[in-house]
Structure 1
Amino acid sequence: MSSQAQLLMLDRDAVAAVMTTDMIDRAVRDAFALHSARQGRVFPVVREALSTGGIFGIKSGDVAARALLGFKAAGFWPRNRELGGEPHQATIMLFDPATGRPRCIMDGNAITTARTAAAGELGLRILARADSTSVCVFGTGVQARAQLSAALRAFPSLRTVRYVSQDGRPKPDFEACFDGTCRPVLALDVDAAVAASDVVITATPGAGPLFSAAAVRPGTHLNCVGADTRGKRELPGSLLERCRLVVDDSEQARSLGETQWAPSVPHAELGDLLTGKCAFDRQADDVTVFDMTGLALQDLVVGEYLYDAANAARVGCLISWPW
């Protein structure tokens, strides 16, 4: 009955109680497959700078066959660090597409980190050389840590791990995250670090090119996370023109991602490689780039999995939401 309608609230702790790595991996693969089959829609992205110094965005979409509709409101507020908080903030909301009534509101911070890392891991497994043994990660924040962890899962053969910090100083907290797994070494010469790495991960705020194009040697794979807004970039000019480019969504990548700087470069979508819709035969000397802008479908499908798991486990807070 409409007078007995309820809304499920999942805060940070409730999400953590039901979210697993396996769940996120399955949901992200599911989202890419839906996107490839055009069974899920991705609506135009809102991404705007605020007078407060933050960036606010909305990613939304639907999957009609699964009665899935919703959005993620998220952005980046750098001044949060001064308050002892995380600059990335996200909230996901799911709706009943038949009535427009909200079903669930959930904290999206950990979800965003986990689904982006899962997408990065999938990109590595499909695109990077199987004999990769070295990685360089730009950034030491939450997403850089998640991406490096994903890379180590995808390639246990990664023995040499270098990182580049924003201020060029060692980050003991970052290094400590990988105790017992690897020993990240601070790279002071960024071009030399890139030239010596089979895999390069860029997970920074996207304020400009991080290294020179000449540093990228044949056979390198790059996972690029930071360019998610008009004007942002992490890669140097001319690099995309000599690589094999893969994106998560063509339109989004051209407007928000690294691809905005070379929109005419031919590219494929990762979902099409995953489903076999598009063939991909990597050659040993290919330079490959995965331009990750983040799909609304990833957030929604992960949200759907979490919503079902929370209901089954009776996790979260149900509040009356009559209409």
Structure 2
Amino acid sequence: MPNDAKLLLIDRDQAAALLTPDAVMAAVRDSFLLHASREGHVFPVVREFLPDGAVFGIKSGGAASDKLLGFKAAGFWPANRSHGADAHQATIMLFDQATGRPQCLIDGNAITTARTAAAGALGLLSLARRDSARLHVFGTGVQAAAHIDYALRALPSLKSVRYTASDGRRVAELETQFAGRCDIAPAAPDAIALADIVITATPARAPLFETRDIQPGTHINAVGADTQGKRELPEGLLPLARIWADDLTQSRTIGELQWAPDTQAAELGVLLANGMHARSHALASDITIFDMTGLALQDLTVARMLMQRALENGTGTSIGWPW
């Protein structure tokens, strides 16, 4: 009955504890399939600039066939770092599609990190050469580390990881995190030319490298461009590559494709739905790019999985929410 309705609250630590890579990968794959079938919908993205360099956004969507509805309110507050806190903040709300009543409120930071890395891993499985052995990562933060983790899980052929920090420093904690799983070290100036896979996971607003640095056959996961004005890839690279996006409308508005919106591209979900590997239908020498802007459906399918796990094992706090 309405007066007996409950709202489940899942905090940061509880959410992180419930997330496992295999479950996240499965949930994110589901989101791509919902999107490809057009049973799932992503609604227009809200992205607003706030004082002191902060950015606030809302990604929302749903799937009637899956009784899925919700949103993520998230953004970037650089001043948080002065307090020792994460600059990225996210909160996810799931709703009962039939009534509009809220079902679950979840801290979204861990979900955002995991679902983005899982989407990147699905991109690697679909687009990168299967013999890829060398990974070059731009960025050394939480998101970059998650992408390294999921990439190593997805492609056992990866043996070497080179990273480029924004200030060029060595990041001992990142190397310690992956010691024993790969050969990891700071990148030499010419390291990108040796990479089979490049992942860009930064807040950059200018290219991180030059077009001539990318060799034939390289795959790029472009993660950082998710707002108008952000970019990581150099001018002239997109027309040379075969490009996939999570959502073409979003990518042409806030992703790398905003800089070349007329460039031909396709959506990754179609590849996944058809069980295809892009290299099977292209030249091994093709440069491929996955333009990742992040789908609301990814947040929602992972949040739903997490909510179900929480209900099964009694995690979280259930409070009365009558209506």
Q: How far did residue 310 of structure 1 move? A: 1.0
> Larger deviation: 18-27 or 274-283?
274-283
| Structure 1 residue aligned with 2:231 | 233
Distance 1:249 1:102 in 2: 26
| Structure 1 residue aligned with 2:35 | 35
Q: Are 1:202 and 2:170 counterparts? A: no
Q: How far did residue 277 of structure 1 move? A: 8.4
Q: What is the identity, as a one-letter code, of the residue corresponding to 1:229?
A: T
Contact 2:104–2:307 (CA under 8 A) maintained in structure 1: yes
SS at structure 2 position matched to 1:184: strand
SS at structure 2 position matched to 1:23: helix
Contact 1:168–1:188 (CA under 8 A) maintained in structure 2: no
SS at structure 1 position matched to 2:105: strand
| TM-score (structure 2 length as normaliser) | 0.97
Q: Are 1:274 and 2:279 counterparts? A: no
**Percent of counterpart pairs with the same letter?**
57
Q: What is the identity, as a one-letter code, of the residue corresponding to 1:99?
A: T
Q: Give the aligned CA root-mean-square deviation in angstroms.
A: 1.3
User: Could you list the runs of 4 or more consecutive aligned residues of structure 1 that deviate by over 4 angstroms after TM superposition?
Assistant: none
Contact 1:225–1:291 (CA under 8 A) maintained in structure 2: yes
Contact 1:115–1:298 (CA under 8 A) maintained in structure 2: yes
Distance 2:181 2:140 in 1: 16
| Structure 1 residue aligned with 2:12 | 12
SS at structure 2 position matched to 1:136: strand
Q: What is the number of equivalent residue pairs in this alignment?
A: 321
Q: How far did residue 107 of structure 1 move? A: 0.7
Q: What does residue range 232-251 of structure 1 map to in structure 2 within 5 Å?
A: 232-251=230-249
Q: Are 1:223 and 2:221 counterparts? A: yes
- 1:56-90 deviations in Å (ceiling 9; x for gaps): 11000011112211000011111211111111111
Q: Are 1:263 and 2:261 counterparts? A: yes
| TM-score (structure 1 length as normaliser) | 0.97
Q: How far did residue 145 of structure 1 move? A: 0.4
Cα pair distance change 1:133/1:277, threshold 3 Å: closer
Give structure 1 stretches of 5+ with no counterpart: none
Q: What is the identity, as a one-letter code, of the residue corresponding to 2:247?
A: D
- 1:118-137 deviations in Å (ceiling 9; x for gaps): 00000001100111111110
SS at structure 2 position matched to 1:56: strand
Contact 1:127–1:282 (CA under 8 A) maintained in structure 2: no
Q: What does residue range 83-232 of structure 1 map to in structure 2 within 5 Å?
A: 83-189=83-189, 192-232=190-230
Give structure 2 stretches of 5+ with no counterpart: none
| Structure 2 residue aligned with 1:296 | 296
Distance 2:40 2:283 in 1: 32
- 1:273-292 deviations in Å (ceiling 9; x for gaps): 00118884131110000000
